[in-house]
Amino acid sequence: MNVATSGTLNFQLSEEHTEVQRAAREFAQKELLPGVIERDTHQTFPTEQIKKMGELGFMGMMVDTIYNGGGMDTISYVLAMEEISKVDASASVCMSVNNSLVCWGIEKFGTEAQKQKYLKPLATGEIIGAFCLSEPEAGSDATSQRTIAEDKGDYYLLNGIKNWITNGGTASVYLVIAQTDIEKKHKGINCLIVERGMEGFEVGKKEDKMGIRGSDTHSLMFTNVKVPKENRIGEDGFGFKFAMQTLNGGRIGIAAQALGIASGAYELAVQYSKERKAFGKLISEHQAIQFKLADMYTKIEAARLMTLKAAALKDAGEDFAIAAAAAKLYTSQIAQEVTTEAVQVHGGYGYVKEYHVERLMRDAKITQIYEGTSEVQKIVIARNILK
Ligand code: CAA
pLDDT tens figures, 108-119:
999 999 999 999
Residue 371 a catalytic site member? yes
Q: Which of 244, 328, 384 has the most ligand 1 atoms within 8 A of CB, as the residue to mutate? A: 244
The pLDDT value given to residue 307 = 98
- d(CA 244, ligand 1 centre) in Å: 5
Residue 3 scores a pLDDT above 80:
no
Question: 3 versus 322: which is more confidently predicted?
Answer: 322
The predicted model gives 278-286 an average pLDDT of 98
SS percent in the chain: helix, strand, coil, step 5: 55, 15, 25
For residue 204, what pLDDT is reported? 97
For residue 10, what pLDDT is reported? 84
Q: Report the chain's mean pLDDT, rounded to a whole number.
A: 97
Q: Is 264 in the pocket of ligand 1 (CB under 6 A)?
A: no
Element (H, E) at 3: strand 2-3
Alpha carbon dihedral 97, 103, 85, 161, in 10-degree steps, equals: -10
Q: What is the pLDDT of residue 9?
A: 79
**pTM for the whole structure:** 0.97
- Single out the catalytic residue among 26, 48, 371, 375: 371
pLDDT at 8: 73
What pLDDT sits at residue 6? 60
Q: What pLDDT band is residue 7 in, cutting at 50, 70 and 90? A: low
Closest atom of ligand 1 to 372 CA is: 44
- Give the pLDDT band of residue 2 (cuts 50, 70, 90): low
- Over range 129-152, report the average pLDDT: 94
Give residue 5's pLDDT: 54
Average pLDDT over residues 136-165: 95
Q: In whole angstroms, what is the distance from residue 66 CA to residue 74 CA?
A: 18
Number of the ligand 1 atom closest to the C-alpha atom of 369? 50
pLDDT above 70 for 4: no
How much is the average pLDDT of 24-53? 98
Closest C-alpha to ligand 1, atom 12: 241
Based on the number of CB atoms within 10 Å of its own CB, is 44 exposed (0-12), middle (13-18) or buried (19 or more)?
Answer: middle
Number of residues in the chain = 387
Q: Which atom of ligand 1 is nearest to the CA of 383?
A: 26
- Residue 1 is predicted with a pLDDT of 53
- The pLDDT > 70 percentage for the chain reads 98
Q: How far is the CA of 307 from the centre of ligand 1 (A)?
A: 20
How would you classify residue 71: left for phi > 0, otherwise alpha for psi between -120 and 50, otherwise beta? left
Residue 106 has pLDDT above 80, yes or no: yes
142 or 358, which is more confident? 358
133 lines ligand 1 (CB under 6 A): yes
How many Cβ atoms from other residues are within 10 Å of residue 7's Cβ? 6
